Structure 1
Amino acid sequence: MAEQSKIWIDGGVLKQYATDLLVRRNIAPADAAVTVDNLIFADLRGIDTHGVMRLALYLERIDRGLLAAENRVAIVRENDGMVVVDGGNYLGPVAATLAMEKAVAKAKNGVAGLGFVRNNHHYGSCAYYAMMALPHDMIGFSCSNTTPLMAPTGGARRLVGNNPFAFAAPAGKYRPFVLDIALSVVAGGKILLAEKNGQKIPYGWALDKNGQPTDDPRAGFSDGGLLLPIGGHKGYGMAVMVDILAGVLAGSAFGTEVQGLADFASTKPLGTGHCMVALNVEAILGIRAFKDRMDALIEEIKSVPLAEGVERVYVPGEIEFEVHEKRSREGVPVSPKVVAELEALGASVGLPPVEKRSGPV
């Protein structure tokens, strides 16, 4: 949807409204703040699919008894180098944030810190957690498994999630390197949108339920189709690797055990798992030397000759930093449907309509 057709809301106003909404739904204020901070982080960076549009779905899962309404997060194992957190099928960012905070604290006392989360709910944007390491001059990594959306290479049934991961590394005079990707060629939401709009999809996005290439969006997703992994068998292998770290090793659900966020037919908890890593750069190389070397690498990337018709080469994360600056200044463009959902939820707990802007400023 073009930005012109969206409703503009100041990021701080949107954050406060969403937080008030959760608090009035009896979510503990600290937990509401952590959850909404993750959602607004995504909206400000232009990752709208992981922003406040998720809030209505979270609340519907609470209302249906599929998501815990009270904090049951618990540390189940811990030592000097790692922690294992049980998310208690509660709001996902709560346990995930705790795990990454612990990982950073442990890395400060050594070289690396690890955090694992089991039995959790959707945890939002991967980059949020990886980037928690940056203020400490550390490298951060975060990954999560998801409900199966892809088949193993050569298979014809959903078995592997498009399991996302994020990696963040500090630099000196340049912005940090931040890679945040899922492992399917395209998000399922894009295929659903094509189906809604009566459009074909490109071959190479999905297979039908029989494992055959298709340009029919319904056959490629909602009718049991399969998303295709990036890089073919390589993306499939990387997705399994993430499932091993976030599911098998974390002691969480894995493979077909992981439930779908929008699947209300299943009464099982999502069961998602996560793996967090913080690396103490100072202990390994020294932060000044590392940042100088990162700057040199980025400069080398930036100096590459441009292909015809290309104006600029971006470093991963650079576009999102620029969108964040723009939206922090101008406001967040939100679809009218999402605004209507938020305001309907707000009205049900006595909140007035959210304050809006006339457009970007």
Structure 2
Amino acid sequence: MKISAESERQFLEDVFKAQKFNQKDGALLADTLVDADLRGISSHGIQRLAWYTSMIKEHTLEPEQQPKILKETPTSLLVDANKSMGQIASAFTMNKLIEKTKKLGVSLGVIRNSNHFGTAGYYSRMACKEGLIGISTTNTRPLVVPTNSLEAFLGSNALAFTFPADPHPFVFDGATAVVSSGKIQVLAKKGEQIPGDWAVDENRNVLHDAKTVEDNLSKIAFSEDRPGGGVLTLGGQKEVNSNYKGFGNSLIIELLTGILAQGSLSADTNTGKHDFSQFFMTIDPSLFGDLDVLKANVTEMFNRIRNLKHLPGTKIMIPGDREYKHYDENLIQGISIDDTTADELQKIGEKYHVTVPTEEASNLE
């Protein structure tokens, strides 16, 4: 079914209120999920609500707790998320960094004891709205098999980078693995096959059945006795396709998050504190030249790339183009909800006595 963005937002805010998040935090959480769905990133949208709800039940996250600053300098910030939702600690940190960077040109922050934070691009775009370059990263559950490994150790370890441009910012937002686990979850819910070589079994044989892979990833991510297999690094199955470069990218994120924050490695987030770590950086590009000139130059570069000769029936898109296109379309057409997620929302609505949005109630044209 399809629902409107506003009906999704209202439902989420009502659920988060019932779960004891304060109004400001509930509105932020709802906005991050609606924003992901509007941009066509359904892996990080409302389909995550059931998981968030289970984390509250297990006390992996505590809705009423707030992030705390552990150490601060004019250009840096170390934050304890204090088991609050990752989005809450991340937005708190990014807002602080934006203030610092407007004064001194550059700043960076690290968060420990956090949780899933939604899409990395959400926070980088916060910086870009203020004319700044934004960088956002996180480690995750253990999902990714290093080059030649038979077992998972790394997280999907997302990276987002934004740069001011027209008609919209440059936004690269993606896992440093070949894919995020959320995309496999969505395919499994729909009963669909994995279209590419994304995941392997305990013998490093490629798997294409999304339900089989999702079941295995759940065991890897949430149990102490982990089976083999997992998601591949960028570059896929073989070293000849440079999968060691994807491995290296994932390790960089691990160093900037779990190691720098002195939190858990992705490999260890399935036991103990179940904590994620995040890293953020903001840079004022006007340190190096007039912002309008820089924006004009980067916009010209992107337009030259978009207009290169290309394969018939294809289109060259700059990172961010697709998501902004989806955003505009989905505002009008509505957000698609798969049947499994719709059933999950129905159960959550009944549990918290919240009205679940329906296609008929969404007033879509």
Per the TM superposition, whether the score is higher than 0.5 is: yes
Q: Higher mean Cα deviation, 269-278 or 187-196?
A: 187-196
Residue 329 of structure 1 corresponds to 332
1:299 and 2:303 matched: yes
Q: How does 1:8-19 map to 2 (within 5 A)?
A: 8-19=2-13
* 1:89 Cα offset (Å): 1.5
Contact persistence 1:162–1:182 (CA under 8 A) = yes
Secondary structure of 1:148's aligned partner: coil
Q: Which residue of 1 aligns with 2:346?
A: 343
SS of equivalent residue, structure 1 residue 295: helix
Q: 1:45 to 1:189 in 2, by over 3 A?
A: closer
- Work out whether 1:204 is the aligned partner of 2:197: yes
* Structure 1 residue 65, shift from structure 2 partner: 2.4
The 1:192/1:281 distance shift into structure 2, 3 A limit, reads closer
Matches of 1:111 and 1:132, distance apart in 2:
16
Are 1:238 and 2:249 counterparts? Answer: yes
1:57 Cα deviation (Å)?
1.4
User: Across the two proteins, how many residue pairs are aligned to each other?
Assistant: 346
1:271 aligns with 2:260: no
User: Take 1:320 and 1:252, find their aligned partners in 2: how far apart are those partners?
Assistant: 32
Distance of 2:282 and 2:181 partners within structure 1: 30
Deviation at 1:77, TM superposition (A): 0.8
The AA in structure 1 aligned to 2:339 is: P
Q: Decide whether the 8 Å contact of 1:67 with 1:90 is kept in 2.
A: yes
> SS at 2:74's partner residue?
coil
Quick check: 1:280 aligned with 2:284? yes
Instruction: Check conservation: 2:114, 2:277, Cα contact below 8 A.
Output: yes
- Partner SS, residue 136 of structure 1: coil
Q: Tell me, in whole angstroms, the C-alpha distance in 1 between the residues paired with 2:31 and 2:194.
A: 34
Q: Deviations over 1:164-216 (max 9, x none)?
A: 111111113x3211111112223445556777888765673223213344556
- For residue 233 of structure 1, report the CA deviation from its aligned partner: 0.6
Distance of 2:326 and 2:193 partners within structure 1: 29
- With 53-62 and 136-145 compared, the bigger mean Cα shift is at 53-62
Question: Aligned partners of 1:206, 1:63: CA distance in 2, in Å?
Answer: 30
3-state SS of the aligned residue for 1:85?
A: strand
Q: Following TM superposition, by how much is the alpha carbon of 1:163 offset from its aligned partner in structure 2, in angstroms?
A: 0.7
Q: Against the structure 1 CA distance between its residues 289 and 255, is the aligned structure 2 distance closer, same or farther, given a 3 Å change threshold? A: same
Determine the C-alpha separation between the residues in 2 that align with 1:346 and 1:228.
36
Gaps of 5+ in 2: 217-226, 236-242
How far apart are the structure 1 equivalents of 2:185 and 2:43? 13
Which AA in structure 1 matches 2:84? Y
Post-superposition offset of 1:269: 3.2
Q: Structure 1 residue 247 and structure 2 residue 258: aligned?
A: yes
Q: Which moved more, 1:337-346 or 1:147-156?
A: 337-346
Cα distance in 2, alignment partners of residues 198 and 9 from structure 1 = 21
Change (3 A) 1:333 1:203: closer
User: Cα distance, 1:308 vs. partner?
Assistant: 3.3
- Aligned to 1:160, the other structure's residue is in SS state coil
Tell whether the 8 Å contact from 1:35 to 1:92 is kept in structure 2 after alignment: no
User: 2-side partners of 1:307 and 1:293: how far apart?
Assistant: 26
- Over aligned residue pairs, what C-alpha RMSD do you find? 2.3
Normalising by structure 1, we get a TM-score of 0.88
1:150 to 2:144 alignment: yes
Partner of 1:182: 175
SS state of the match for residue 109, structure 1?
Answer: helix
Deviation digits for residues 55-86 of structure 1, max 9, x if unmatched? Answer: 12111221122222321411111110011111
Measure, in 2, the Cα distance between the counterparts of 1:193 and 1:42. 14
Secondary structure of the corresponding residue to residue 346 of structure 1 = helix
1:318 alignment partner AA: D
**1:120-135 alignment runs, 5 A limit:** 120-135=114-129
Partner of 1:71: 65
